[in-house]
Structure 1
Amino acid sequence: MRTTVLVVTWRGREHVEACLDAVAAQTRPHRILVVDNASDDGTAGLLAAHPSRPAVRRLPVNAGYAGALAAALPQVGTEFVAWLNDDAVPAPDWLARLEDALEADPAAAAASALLESAAGEPISVGVGLTADGHGADRTDGAGVFGFCGGAALLRTAELAAAGGVPARFFCYYEDTDTSWRLRLRGRTVVSVPGARVVHRHGASSRPGSREFHRWNERNRLYMLLRCAPAGVALRECARFAALTAVLPLRRLLGRPVPTSWNFRTRLRLQVLAEVLVRLVPLARERRAVTGRATVGRSAVWRSANPGR
């Protein structure tokens, strides 16, 4: 067995069985480890009764997707480690195709699968990096900077050498941050559209919710402060703060403002407060990333944004 499949679940009673059934049906031998984020909905009983008899690590509190992966990583002794959402159902050859892709490309440290909806619509074949430092799902396979953490395969040793999983992110951007750090070590990420996974996107995190936008906005800034060129990181933090200051004025003047949570002043102030509180730890983390890097931040940034 070359791969440990890490399935992270939280209150996954409605969908985790389908995920485990699909993992059990893989054409390649593997080990499976389910990390249960203190589910209180009967998930533990389902895991204990599943015929695949997965190893289970139950955390005392909900550590989020990133926290659960970080907690489980020391228990992985295989060459590869797969990240898999509990609402994802991989095709039987998913793992084989990802393993083969990494076998064929020694420079690649991670392989990103094709996530698609139940209707067959593509959701992601990897993550691109936008000009303002956002991680954005790509559906065409072109310009893939990083892997989508919902269903990906990584070289375990490379993940550890790059600093592991950023547990404090809780969820979102842990994959793009990890991709940044792998690339700073001179590694690449490959997209494997033949490795298909049906994904019930956001079954646990409720896309569009307040917490969804809080994690996304905060973790993008965390990621940039940890990994990006200093000018890019400072520019985007300043832009975020400036827009936060302008939004109340726009409302006062009766000008249109988007209604989504990430344009609400109180949430944005919370994000800024969380970033400010962690500036010193983030600076230490940035130095640690620098110490592991073999490629300059600007070179990685330019490769993701040609011409900039």
Structure 2
Amino acid sequence: MNDAPGTVDVTVVTVTYDAAGLVRACLDGLRAQELGDVTMSVVVVDNGSRDGTADLVAAEYPEVRLVAHPVNAGFTGGNNVALAGVRSRYAVLLNNDAVPDPTFVATLVRAMDGAAPDVAAMAATVLLAARFRPAGPEDGLDGTHVVHGPDGSWVEDPDGPVRLVNSTGNEVRTDGFGVDRGWLADASRHRPARDVFGFSGAAAILRTSALRTVGLFDERLFMYYEDTDLSWRLRLAGYRVEHCAGAVVSHVHAASSSEGSDFFRFHDMRNRLAVVTKNASAALALRCVLRFGLTTASVGLRRRQPWPLVRTRLRAARSYLGLLPHLLAERRRTGRAAVVDRRTVDALLVPPTTATGPYRA
């Protein structure tokens, strides 16, 4: 499964699970890449799909190296299966529900070629696949079909003129929450800084030499916050992450797992605690964990949330405690190798801002 050293400039890795209806568009987009002198290989890791995804990839995309993993190892394990064998200078991560623009790969590779050596990763511009128009009085601004972003309120419309941002990289707030930078911003007006705390695993390029320094994804996270965890470890090791504005993908948001599901809430809450425990300063980590515990106790005793939500919080807390020995061991290992103080990285975190509305694809 290994790339032969020096054979290609970049290896694109896509992990898929029961997504035959999505992966074809993604792979068609990769097949249509305008590479110029950039050389590319594509690896698809099928995470034990039961819907024929592996057969579809093997039959319709013979140029793709298919890794048929026997079980669902999540985003973390699936990517690690491929990344462990990558020998190209760069690896591109691309969600199976994201369709790249024709110049996506070449733009990322050339940007990394021109970047400083301490730039370990670049986040692409991830746009929502849907199109939108401005919401009007007739739409009822309190309606669930209206999307509220930092630049206005929008209604999904297949003929709409507006593209909204899904992510231009990941940020971490001072309360420990990870957020997509630019979420629901008007893409035509979003002009973010080049430097960003971390990359989004939906679409990014990684310098493989940096991965050999800090390691791959933490497989115990399974999915969610794994990109923030790896970005944080890169920061502690003295690397930086930048945004490559010209590398664009269209993303069917939450196509793989719904943000309202118990699965999402459990992994989102547990992994947020896990990542700050592993990487943040002791003061910040303790503050975040204590706040979660107090909030969970409060909503449980006062019944301020429906019981299923309280139950999920309790499950997340129990699972976090079960992971704690691993997290503390990883914290010690990362700390011994760190070249940047944890409090210095904490200073890159952003304050919480007024939340924008949700969006359901």
Residues in 2 aligned to 1:64 and 1:178: alpha-carbon distance in whole angstroms: 15
Contact 1:64–1:170 (8 Å) recurs in 2: yes
Amino acid at match of 2:212: A
Question: Is it true that 1:88 corresponds to 2:101 in the alignment?
Answer: no
Cross-structure match for 2:128: 117
Q: Deviations over 1:17-75 (max 9, x none)?
A: 11011111112220111000000001011111124521011111101111111222211
Cross-structure match for 2:83: 73
Superposed displacement of residue 260, structure 1: 10
Question: Is it true that 1:242 corresponds to 2:294 in the alignment?
Answer: yes
Cross-structure match for 2:177: 134
Residues in 2 aligned to 1:244 and 1:168: alpha-carbon distance in whole angstroms: 23
Superposed displacement of residue 121, structure 1: 1.5
Given candidates 148, 157, 164, the residue that maps to 2:216 is 164
Provide the aligned length of Structure 1 versus Structure 2: 299
Report the more deviating stretch, 45-54 or 81-90: 45-54
Cross-structure match for 1:183: 235
Residues in 1 aligned to 2:25 and 2:280: alpha-carbon distance in whole angstroms: 38
Cross-structure match for 2:18: 11
Cross-structure match for 2:268: 216
Q: Deviations over 1:49-107 (max 9, x none)?
A: 12452101111110111111122221111110111110110001111111122222222
Report the more deviating stretch, 48-57 or 186-195: 48-57
Provide the alpha-carbon RMSD of the alignment. 1.6
Residues in 2 aligned to 1:305 and 1:17: alpha-carbon distance in whole angstroms: 37
Cross-structure match for 2:119: 108
Contact 1:24–1:52 (8 Å) recurs in 2: no
Superposed displacement of residue 249, structure 1: 3.0
Residues in 2 aligned to 1:248 and 1:277: alpha-carbon distance in whole angstroms: 21
Residues in 1 aligned to 2:60 and 2:53: alpha-carbon distance in whole angstroms: 11
SS of the residue aligned with 2:347? helix
**Shift in alpha-carbon separation, 1:260–1:170, aligned structure 2, 3 A:** farther
Alignment of 1:35-46 (within 5 A): 35-46=45-56
Unpaired runs of at least 5, structure 1: 252-256
Q: Greater share of helix residues, 1 or 2?
A: 1
Contact 2:299–2:305 (8 Å) recurs in 1: no
Bigger Rg, which one: 2
Contact 1:94–1:197 (8 Å) recurs in 2: yes
SS of the residue aligned with 1:6? strand
Q: Deviations over 1:211-255 (max 9, x none)?
A: 10111111111111111111111111110010010013332xxxx
Residues in 2 aligned to 1:167 and 1:26: alpha-carbon distance in whole angstroms: 30
Q: Following TM superposition, where does structure 1 have runs of at least 4 consecutive aligned residues deviating by more than 4 angstroms?
A: 258-261
Amino acid at match of 2:99: V
SS of the residue aligned with 1:213? helix
Given candidates 319, 323, 336, the residue that maps to 1:291 is 336
Question: Is it true that 1:276 corresponds to 2:321 in the alignment?
Answer: yes
Normalization by structure 2: what TM-score?
0.80
**Shift in alpha-carbon separation, 1:260–1:220, aligned structure 2, 3 A:** farther
